[in-house]
């Protein structure tokens, strides 16, 4: 017996509690020791739904009733209790059947019977949990507060500012002054499009003296197709989008049509409720279109384990676990996944409720659908025909090689010298020792396998075929597919899985939603994913709108109003501005769930337009800027780090959508993971696509994106980390892809800038930072250029290595421009949103 149990025993003996009576300490003992023990070992068979031998050990009622053979225990008398005899493996009845419990578990059970079998009243306990839940702010419907009154009314541009300023004024603080126009256009451009503004766009905005110049700029940007890319990428984090299956055999998959669906939906400003319904249950909509089905790709972003010898059912269930957890985090801001193995420790979600949610996702097939848009029909047919020809060509070469193989092998065997034989693998030598006519087929086949493997040309042919079939190339007809969900006619049965083990079924469950939230309204007796989706975006759901506006807020301000944007439960951080959160959430729904309107509201606020400069005083009183006394200043996301360089250098290929691409990465990166997929570096325009189109291989992600915290996409991410490390510095300094950008930037400056050094330095600076250099920076740029020029004049060999193609500048001067460009691209400010 454990020390805990023993102390308790002494304390309780005097009281001799009776079955069902309440006693907090006995309850604790029960909850810590007995309930988990029963649940993990007994309830799988003895539950209320399916009481094997008439016995349920799942509830107080069940224990009271006993089983088909009568009472299960005599309270206070373990030695007379059948349950104890059974677990001790004393008589004919040995429980649990798979194996005897541990000694200390048996001791706990005995002790529990000795104590009179205390069992906390289930209903009382559940009611208490529910009360706790109902009291929690996030489970109550948002209230639309009136924007509070403020003293400095002139500062306010929209109601957001009332909430922010009122709070600041309460502290006696003032907001920061508005950022200058150049900072504002760069901030807006990075925030809304993920791209820096061109010098021409900056000049235009700075010169625009109309009173609504800023609002016009915002509208122009919201109408840009790059908006869908920038905000689509945030959504793809949550969707755990990737281009491979994950796990050991990390093979390519065709998922980009889903990615493009997201970009398009956002660009069309599809209302968020519709956006939600399509991704959860587009296939179940009446007359579902091809696009509606593609949207269900959200659910197919789960990993697939293709390792030999895996139990497919195990990983089908794993994928559903992931879907439940993802739905919880992305829409409800709840850590529902915690209830997979046991009732949620902090939030009112029981394990059973978890499996009721699970049941929604347990009723589908996971097919690959052919998608050939009308405009592509001809192209598709050509590609398919070409592909078949290519495949046939390789197969013909394979067949040609295999013709006469038998004779060649005989000749090979005859030609082997004794020394050559001695060097062969042991099993091959053994087979060769058998006279040919006495060999079995299997032995001959082993021999052939060895012979084939030694033939490099043949192996190369096989490899070519493999690549042709699997390669994620735009010339492969497999790109005309999408991974989707499809509901089964006959629902699968769902069970509580004991401790999340897919082999241990507990009670059967049907689809349902947690009791702490408003009830589900289902069209049929057996609710579907479509009902779940509609429930998520029902105006009565207190969480979804709050969770979504909070996440949008987080992407702008680096921190959500609820900092723990993934957890609105009782363990999450309370909101810094609860009334503002509720106002935004209700405004979002009132306005028809339009994301563009929400973006416009936020970025046109005075709060958003503040300067991000910080004084030691400000840092001292509010280091995290919780009260938003200033705008945040932070390093941009991984993809944007890449995109800024591409845009500044003029290399950027702004094409939107399509199959994922393979920009340069050092050789050997994918060797450390499996999956037969060559990284054939793009040589044409695809080399310069935005970071978000880079082929994402889960087990060997693109290094220069990973180093800047792009999530690996194994599970949902609603909040990225933002690290700052020497490996990042090495990447931007030395990665060939960044060096290429620096060379292109130098060439662009020489091509486009006024032909004097100071004009060129200013232009290069503005391409990277948008603003003009200040006096110190002007001097320092000139000094840097001179220093590098001197250096390259001394070492013309180094300069020539930079191969200035098509530039009318001598090698050392070009090299010095390259050096300046590279320096600018490496500045903190270049990859920072101020």
Partner 1 sequence: MQSELIKDQTRRYFFQQCWSGVGLVGLASLLNDQLFAEPTDPMAPKPPQFAPKAKRVIFLNMSGGPSQLELFDYKPKLIEMHGKPIPKSVVGDQRYAFINPESPLFGTQRKFHRYGECGMEISDLLPHTASIADEIALVKSCHTDLFNHAPAELFMNTGSGRPGRPSMGSWVTYGLGSEARGLPGFVVLHSTARGWNPGIQGGASCWSSGFIPSTYQGVVLRNQGDPVLFLSNPKGVDVQVQRDTVSAVNRFNQHRLEVTGDPEIATRIASFETAYRMQSVAPEVCDITREPKHILEMYGAPPGRASFANNVLLARRLIEHGVRFINVYHKGWDHHGTDPNQGLITTNLEEVCKDVDQACGALIKDLKQRGMLQDTLVVWGGEFGRTPMGQAPRPNHPLEFQGRDHHPNAFTVWLAGGGIKGGQTIGETDELGFHVVKDAVHVHDLQATVLYLLGLDHTKLTYKYMGRRFRLTDVSGEVVKKLLA
- Of 295-354, binders to partner 1 (CB under 8 A) are 303, 305, 307-311, 318, 329, 334-335, 337-338, 346
Of residues 540-579, which lie at the interface with partner 1 (CB under 8 A)?
558-559, 564, 566-567, 569, 571-572
End-to-end CA distance of the chain: 61
Cα–Cα dist 215/213, whole Å = 6
- Closest CB to partner 1 among residues 523, 827: 827
Least distance CB 662 / partner 1 (angstroms): 17
State the DSSP code for 178.
B
Among 24, 672, 684, 755, binds partner 1 (CB under 8 A): 672
Tokens found for residue 183: 């900072």
CB 553 within 8 A of CB 560: yes
Q: Is 199 helix (H, G, I), strand (E, B) or coil?
A: helix
Check residue 594 and give left, alpha or beta (phi > 0: left; psi -120 to 50: alpha): beta
Give the interface segment with partner 1, choosing from 52-60, 369-377, 386-394, 629-637 (CB under 8 A). Answer: 629-637
- Closest CB to partner 1 among residues 117, 825: 825
Among 224, 251, 384, 673, binds partner 1 (CB under 8 A): 673
Tokens found for residue 110: 């005995």
In 464-619, the DSSP E strands lie at: 481-483, 486-487, 494-497, 505-509
Of residues 37-66, which lie at the interface with partner 1 (CB under 8 A)?
none
- Phi and psi (nearest 5°) for 832? -125, 145
Least distance CB 572 / partner 1 (angstroms): 6
Of residues 687-726, which lie at the interface with partner 1 (CB under 8 A)?
698-701, 703, 706-709, 712, 714-715, 717, 719-726
Cα–Cα dist 819/834, whole Å = 25
Kind plus residue range of the DSSP H or E element containing 833: strand 832-833
**Other CB atoms within 10 A of residue 151 CB:** 9
CB 641 within 8 A of CB 708: yes
Least distance CB 146 / partner 1 (angstroms): 31
Least distance CB 512 / partner 1 (angstroms): 22
Q: Is 369 helix (H, G, I), strand (E, B) or coil?
A: strand
Of residues 444-503, which lie at the interface with partner 1 (CB under 8 A)?
446, 449-450, 453
Tokens found for residue 665: 């990465």
Least distance CB 292 / partner 1 (angstroms): 30
- Closest CB to partner 1 among residues 49, 429: 429
**How many residues can be counted in the chain?**
834
Using CB under 8 A as the criterion, what x/- string covers residues 585-624 for binding partner 1? ---------------------------xxxxx--xx--xx
Of residues 409-448, which lie at the interface with partner 1 (CB under 8 A)?
425-428, 442, 446
Least distance CB 444 / partner 1 (angstroms): 12
Give the interface segment with partner 1, choosing from 240-248, 290-298, 483-491, 755-763 (CB under 8 A). Answer: 240-248
- Closest CB to partner 1 among residues 420, 725: 725
Is 282 near partner 1 (CB under 8 A)? no
- Closest CB to partner 1 among residues 26, 677: 677
Least distance CB 164 / partner 1 (angstroms): 18
Tokens found for residue 487: 């509901």
Among 182, 799, 813, 833, binds partner 1 (CB under 8 A): 799
Of residues 737-776, which lie at the interface with partner 1 (CB under 8 A)?
739, 776
Least distance CB 153 / partner 1 (angstroms): 29
SS (H, E, C) 435-453: CHHHCCHHHHHHHHHHHHH
Best CA proximity match to 297, nearest among 473, 481, 470: 481
- Closest CB to partner 1 among residues 267, 731: 731
Among 121, 274, 376, 829, binds partner 1 (CB under 8 A): 829
- Closest CB to partner 1 among residues 261, 785: 785
Give the interface segment with partner 1, choosing from 7-15, 350-358, 467-475, 626-634 (CB under 8 A). Answer: 626-634
- Closest CB to partner 1 among residues 30, 785: 785
CB 317 within 8 A of CB 472: no
Least distance CB 562 / partner 1 (angstroms): 11
Among 45, 160, 317, 802, binds partner 1 (CB under 8 A): 802
- Phi and psi (nearest 5°) for 509? -130, 160
How many residues sit in the footprint of partner 1 (CB under 8 A)? 113
Identify any residues that bridge with 46 across adjacent strands, giving them in sequence order.
51
Rg (CA), the chain: 33
Q: Is 732 helix (H, G, I), strand (E, B) or coil?
A: helix
- Phi and psi (nearest 5°) for 28? -65, -45
Cα–Cα dist 342/92, whole Å = 32
Of residues 73-102, which lie at the interface with partner 1 (CB under 8 A)?
98-99
Check residue 417 and give left, alpha or beta (phi > 0: left; psi -120 to 50: alpha): beta
Of residues 241-270, which lie at the interface with partner 1 (CB under 8 A)?
246-250
Of residues 360-419, which lie at the interface with partner 1 (CB under 8 A)?
none
From residue 568, alpha-carbon distances to 238, 327, 373 in Å are 16, 14, 41
Of residues 20-39, which lie at the interface with partner 1 (CB under 8 A)?
none
CB 716 within 8 A of CB 326: yes
Is 735 near partner 1 (CB under 8 A)? yes
State the DSSP code for 380.
H
Say which residue the tokens 């959504």 belong to.
235
Least distance CB 81 / partner 1 (angstroms): 27
Is 736 near partner 1 (CB under 8 A)? yes
Cα–Cα dist 589/271, whole Å = 10
**Other CB atoms within 10 A of residue 649 CB:** 24
Least distance CB 571 / partner 1 (angstroms): 5
SS (H, E, C) 143-155: CCCCCCCCCCHHH
- Closest CB to partner 1 among residues 226, 771: 771
- Closest CB to partner 1 among residues 359, 823: 823
Among 144, 523, 730, 810, binds partner 1 (CB under 8 A): 730
Cα–Cα dist 328/340, whole Å = 12
Among 784, 793, 807, 809, binds partner 1 (CB under 8 A): 784
């Amino acid at each position: 017996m454990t020390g805990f149990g023993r102390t308790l025993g002494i304390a309780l003996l005097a009281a001799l509690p009776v079955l069902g009576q309440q006693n907090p300490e006995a309850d604790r003992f029960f909850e810590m020791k007995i309930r988990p023990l029963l649940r993990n070992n007994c309830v799988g068979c003895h539950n209320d739904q399916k009481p094997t031998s008439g016995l349920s050990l799942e509830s107080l009622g069940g224990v009271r009733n006993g089983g088909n053979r009568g009472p299960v225990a005599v309270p206070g008398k373990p030695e007379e209790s059948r349950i104890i005899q059974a677990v001790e493996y004393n008589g004919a009845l040995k429980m649990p059947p798979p194996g005897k419990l541990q000694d200390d578990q048996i001791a706990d059970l005995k002790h529990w019977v000795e104590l009179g079998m205390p069992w906390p009243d289930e209903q009382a306990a559940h009611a208490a949990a529910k009360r706790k839940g109902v009291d929690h702010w996030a489970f109550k419907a948002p209230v639309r507060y009136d924007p509070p009154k403020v003293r400095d009314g002139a500062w306010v541009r929209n109601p957001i500012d009332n909430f922010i300023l009122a709070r600041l004024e309460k502290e006696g603080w003032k907001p920061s002054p508005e950022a200058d126009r150049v900072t504002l256009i760069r901030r807006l451009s990075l925030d809304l499009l993920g791209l820096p503004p061109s010098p021409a766009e900056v000049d235009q905005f700075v010169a625009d003296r109309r009173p609504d110049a800023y609002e016009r700029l915002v509208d122009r940007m919201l109408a840009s197709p790059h908006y869908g890319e920038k905000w689509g990428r945030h959504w793809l984090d949550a969707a755990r989008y990737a281009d491979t299956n994950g796990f050991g055999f990390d093979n390519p998959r065709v998922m980009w049509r889903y990615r493009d669906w997201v970009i398009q939906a956002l660009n069309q400003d599809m209302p968020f409720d519709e956006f939600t319904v399509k991704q959860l249950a587009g296939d179940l909509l009446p007359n579902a279109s091809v696009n509606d089905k593609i949207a269900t790709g959200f659910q197919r972003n789960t990993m697939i384990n293709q390792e030999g010898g895996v139990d497919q059912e195990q990983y089908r269930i794993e994928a559903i676990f992931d879907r439940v957890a993802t739905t919880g985090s992305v829409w409800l801001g709840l850590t529902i996944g915690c209830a997979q193995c046991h009732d949620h420790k902090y939030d009112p979600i029981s394990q059973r409720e978890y499996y009721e949610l699970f049941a929604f996702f347990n009723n589908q097939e996971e097919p690959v659908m052919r998608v050939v848009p009308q405009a592509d029909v001809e192209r598709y047919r050509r590609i398919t025909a070409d592909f078949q020809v290519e495949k046939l060509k390789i197969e013909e070469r394979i067949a040609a090689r295999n013709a006469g193989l038998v004779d060649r092998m005989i000749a090979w065997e005859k030609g082997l010298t004794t020394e050559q034989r001695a060097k062969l693998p042991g099993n091959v030598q053994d087979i060769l020792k058998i006279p040919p006519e006495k060999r079995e087929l299997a032995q001959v086949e082993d021999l052939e396998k060895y012979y084939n493997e030694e033939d490099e040309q043949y192996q190369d042919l096989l490899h070519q075929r493999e690549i042709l079939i699997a390669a994620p190339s735009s010339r492969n007809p497999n790109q005309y597919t999408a991974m989707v969900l499809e509901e089964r006619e006959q629902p699968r049965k769902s069970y509580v899985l004991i401790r999340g083990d897919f082999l241990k079924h507990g009670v059967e469950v049907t689809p349902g939603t947690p009791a702490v939230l408003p009830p589900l309204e289902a069209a049929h007796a057996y609710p579907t994913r479509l009902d779940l989706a509609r429930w998520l975006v029902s105006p009565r759901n207190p969480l979804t709108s709050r969770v979504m506006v909070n996440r949008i807020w987080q992407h702008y301000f680096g921190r959500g109003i609820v900092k723990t944007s993934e957890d609105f439960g009782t363990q999450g951080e309370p909101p810094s501005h609860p009334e503002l959160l509720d106002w935004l959430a209700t405004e979002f729904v009132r306005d028809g769930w339009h994301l563009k309107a929400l973006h416009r509201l936020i970025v046109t606020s005075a709060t958003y337009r503040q300067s991000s400069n910080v004084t030691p005083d400000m840092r001292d009183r509010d280091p995290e800027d919780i009260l938003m006394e200033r705008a945040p200043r932070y390093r941009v996301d991984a993809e944007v780090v890449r995109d800024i360089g591409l845009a500044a250098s003029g290399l950027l290929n702004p094409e939107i959508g399509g199959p994922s691409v393979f920009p340069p990465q050092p050789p050997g990166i994918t060797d450390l993971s499996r999956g037969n997929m060559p990284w054939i570096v793009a040589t044409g325009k695809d080399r310069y696509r935005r970071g978000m189109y880079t082929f994402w291989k889960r087990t060997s992600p693109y290094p220069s994106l990973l180093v800047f915290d792009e999530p690996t996409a194994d599970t949902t991410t609603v909040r990225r980390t933002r690290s700052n490390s020497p490996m990042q510095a090495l990447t931007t300094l030395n990665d060939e892809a960044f060096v290429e950008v620096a060379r292109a930037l130098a060439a662009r400056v020489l091509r486009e800038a006024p032909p004097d050094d100071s004009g060129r330095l200013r232009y290069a600076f503005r391409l990277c930072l948008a603003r003009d250099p200040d006096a110190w920076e002007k001097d320092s740029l000139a000094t840097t250029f001179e220093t590098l020029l001197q250096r390259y004049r001394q070492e013309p060999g180094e300069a020539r290595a930079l191969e200035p193609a098509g530039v009318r500048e001598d090698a050392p001067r070009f090299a010095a421009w390259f050096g300046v460009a590279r320096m600018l691209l490496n500045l903190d400010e270049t990859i920072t949103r101020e």
